[in-house]
Amino acid sequence: MNYKVDVCVVGAGPGGALLAYLLAKKNVSVLLLEQHAAVGKAFRGEHLNEEGEAILKEHGLFEKIEQLGLLRMEN
Ligand SMILES: Cc1cc2nc3c(=O)[nH]c(=O)nc-3n(C[C@H](O)[C@H](O)[C@H](O)COP(=O)(O)OP(=O)(O)OC[C@H]3O[C@@H](n4cnc5c(N)ncnc54)[C@H](O)[C@@H]3O)c2cc1C
């Protein structure tokens, strides 16, 4: 398979996925590669910290993730 893109991001963890999303939003053609077929919740943690929440809010992603079932930490 041949892909012609401006940027290839290897790894769809939080860092790679957000980078690919932000580049795509800027109309940069991106190929995001991930070695695993599924992203297991068990691996990526149980708690979204304040900084993570702020980054997701900054990019308009927090509400979408909340809809998928986020348990808010109140204190
Ligand atoms: C057990 C555990 C629990 C954690 N709990 C929390 C938590 O509760 N809250 C929290 O905020 N953080 C938690 N973390 C930390 C959090 O998972 C990391 O901070 C975060 O995943 C880092 O993101 P990243 O995108 O930099 O890297 P990663 O998440 O490591 O993503 C890298 C991705 O690249 C892929 N990859 C690597 N090499 C290749 C390749 N050659 N080809 C294709 N794909 C490749 C990997 O499969 C992976 O999906 C936890 C970490 C662990 C290990």
Tell me the per-residue pLDDT of 34-65, one tens digit each, with 9 for 90 and over. 998 886 655 666 778 889 899 999 999 999 98
Q: Is 41 in the pocket of ligand 1 (CB under 6 A)?
A: no
**Residue 24: predicted pLDDT:** 98
Amino acid at position 30, single letter: V
Query: Could you tell me the end-to-end alpha-carbon distance of the chain, in angstroms, rounded to an integer?
Result: 49
Amino acid at position 3, single letter: Y
The Cα–Cα gap between 21 and 19 comes to 5
DSSP 8-state secondary structure symbol assigned to residue 37:
S
Find the 13 Cα to ligand 1 centroid distance in Å: 5
Which residue, by CA, sits nearest to atom 8 of ligand 1? 45
Which residue, by CA, sits nearest to atom 33 of ligand 1? 11
**Residue 42: predicted pLDDT:** 59
**Residue 56: predicted pLDDT:** 94
**Residue 74: predicted pLDDT:** 78
Lowest mean pLDDT among 13-27, 28-42, 55-69: 28-42
**Residue 1: predicted pLDDT:** 83
Top mutation candidate among 22, 44, 53 for ligand 1, by most atoms within 8 Å of CB: 44
